[in-house]
Chains A and B, each alone.
Chain A
Amino acid sequence: MSQAGFILRLGVGLLGVLLSSATLGGSVPAGIGVRDLHYGEALFQLFQQRNFTAITHLQMAQAKGVMTAQGDEPELVLGGLYLAYGLYDEAEQVFNRLLEKAAKPAVRDRAWFQLARLHQQQGRPKRAALAFGRIGDALPETLHEQQRELAGLIAMAQGDHPLAIQRLVSPDGKSAWQGFHLFNRALAQLGQGSEQEGRDLLDQLAGLDADDEEHRALRDRANLLHGQLLLEAGENAAAQERLQRVRQQGLHSNQALLALGWASFRQDQFEEALTPWMALRDPDDPAVQQGLLLAPQALQFYQAELTGLGLSLQAVAKGVLLPDLSTFDGGGAADGLLLASDPDQRRHLRGLLAKHRFRQAYDDYVDVGFLSANLHRWSSTIETYDHMLEVRQAAYAGQLPRVETALSDQRLQGLRQRREKLLEMEKELADNSQPLRLANAEEQAQLARMQAIETKMDQMGDAVQLESKRQRLRLMMGMLNWQVETDFKPRLWQFKKLLRSTGDELERSGQLRERLKEALEQAPGRFEGFSGRIESLKVRIAELQSTVNVTLKAQAGALNLMASESLQQRRQGLEALQVRTRFALAQLQDRAAARSEAGP
């Protein structure tokens, strides 16, 4: 393979890694602050990669008009979610809408950034470059490194390696994106023929700390690329050193082991070459198949692999290689759906999934399966709602006479009138001091008794012996009057307070009555509204279920075709290898026989 092709192959592979690194969650700048619970709820789903649910939450909040505190932020996030969910047209519309409505510079810059990403992902580097060029200086700082990375990728996609090299430089060299920048800069240097500069950058990357799996895999990739470059240049010992740094349990271990074997082989270290080749795992990997050509058990391996491939091809023909998503409940990850019980079939499907085009089609298949499960759940739930509505309508009809009686009750009006009278009394009391009107029941009873005694005494005449009793009665009446007059002000205050609270209670009762009346009037319309919506949604569910079933079958058909072609090609390749290995062994045997016939 030519160096340009070799680099291109690695570059394309890396591009996929980078785009997946720039996850949607990462494009939501930290520190913006959640000022709206509904928006926060959508972020909770988004940060767990539940894009479909996050989209639903944002759309619901938008429809209800309850998300007003976050400005254009929810719209931007929704656009990003559409992009991640493969709804490219909708994403583009959202970003364009934000740009058309002359949003704030920070929002505009993020919209241009997302548009540039969208075009770059869709393989439209010119449009990506145009959108990228519109990004101003208001992009949040947390997105600067992603911006730098995107700038480099767009330049590389346009074949402008010097520009990519210039763009892919972090100012402080401490960013989490530093490794990606270095790798892509190395690719750009190699792409423009500056091999030594490219290798130096790969060495620099290999020396970086790698705290997570993504960065460890990137470091493996740098060491592998460097080793392969040195191998091509004939610097076998140096290649060996780089290749030995690739982790054996990593994604690139097979390629590294294969190259390591060649590095030893080229230095005539034949037995050392066999060690990495014999350690090759995963017979589905082309690197392993190539490596095993040189191993003693190659023929047995090819035969076993051909048998397995034949079984997988039979499974494809029967349509059982792919998981059956017609009964999918929507849970679990795509890899958890590999239902084939045969380990070879599972392995072959995984091998197919490693290919970008198959993976893309398979992801679509799983997405449609998820939609199918979602519709299935709704189709049973909506029947429950229909029934619930009927029950409510019946309950409403049952309660209607009682409610109507309650509404026609005039007691509330009578109570209001009584309060009006008390308010007048309060005014009179405040204007003309009449303390006895605020005497309590006991005091009034005492007063009435004393007045009755006084009347009786008056009837008994002016007997001298009654005088002391009259004085005592006057004293008691005076004390009672004094007590009532002294307490008048606090009693008046208490009276006003009671009247106020009675007013509040009457007000609440009035509001309740109005709400009841309103509910009574609106109920038939609400029932009709719900009933109409349920019926229309039922129709939509049924229509979409039918479309989903057709699409699921078509998608399975397309995947089976792709799987079949790929497995057939693999079988042909293995058959050719088998023939060549047999031929090579026959030649060796002939030579050995000729040598033994010729004698020592």
Chain B
Amino acid sequence: MKTRLPKILRLLALLLLSMSIVGQSQADEPADLQSQVRSLKKAVVALNRDLFLLEEELLFPGHTQVSVFLSLDLGEFFTLDSVQLKIDDKALANHLYTERELAALRRGGVQRLFLGNLKSGEHELVAFFTGLGPAGRDYRRATSLKFTKGVSPKLLELRIVDLEARQQPEFDVREWE
């Protein structure tokens, strides 16, 4: 039996070797359907823009609008896990970061953490950052800023910056004009 197996295989192989098995589908997505999808995408993108603009103007008018962004510079001395944002001692945003979001931040992306309304006058922002600091230790830091909300939209940026000289991360808040 042991000597016959190769012969059987050889015969089978000779009989079947040249066969092609699976054909390629010849059907394609119709060109007019492709162009219809493209035109639809274009129209929905434009509609989406107009709807978001309406939403922002309606829900967050300029004289009360406050946006808080978060950016990361390098991020070698600090791996961000989460951030909590408080304005006037009221928690307004909590965010847990995914690997994908951290990668996007490290590449220069800026996250809008909060968009809301505040009345004109003096306010205080406090942000708490938790994560892993130098040498993989648990790290929790806070930063704060007293700011004045005027009649135009207020843009604030929470920044996490690597301090090369101290081999430590630094947290601050920047007001944008």
Residues of A in contact with B (beta carbons under 8 Å apart):
25, 28, 30, 32-34, 37, 39-41, 43-48, 52, 55-56, 59-60, 63-64, 85-90, 265, 268, 270-271, 273-274, 286, 289-290, 293-294, 355, 357-358, 360-361, 364, 367-368, 371, 374-375, 378, 381-382, 385, 388-389, 515, 530, 533-534, 537, 540-541, 544, 547-548, 551, 554-555, 558-559, 561-562, 565-566, 569-570, 572-574, 576-577, 580-581, 583-584, 587-588
Contact = CB atoms under 8 A, between A and B. Distances in A.
A294 B17 CA distance: 9
A509 to B, nearest CB: 13
Interface string B47-86: 1111111111110000000010101000000000000000
Interface stretch (B26-34, B122-130, B136-144): B26-34
B41 A30 contact: no
B29 A265 contact: no
Interface of B is mostly: helix
Nearest to A271: B5
B146 interface: no
B43 to A, nearest CB: 6
Contacts of A32: 108
Nearest to A62: B49
B9 A44 contact: no
B135 interface: no
B40 A547 contact: yes
B22 A34 contact: no
A574 B19 CA distance: 11
B40 A368 contact: yes
Interface of B: 5-6, 8-13, 15-16, 19-30, 33-34, 36-38, 40-58, 67, 69, 71, 100-101, 103-105, 107-112, 151, 155, 157, 176
A46 B109 contact: yes
Given A87-B42, A551-B33, A555-B37, A25 B107 contact: yes
A268 B52 CA distance: 70
A534 B54 contact: yes
B47 A86 contact: no
A37 B110 contact: yes
A555 B36 CA distance: 10
A565 B100 contact: no
A60 B49 contact: yes
A580 B19 contact: yes
Given A48-B101, A59-B45, A581 B52 contact: no
A55 B45 contact: yes
A581 B8 CA distance: 12
Nearest to A382: B51
Contacts of B108: 28, 30, 32-34, 40, 43, 47
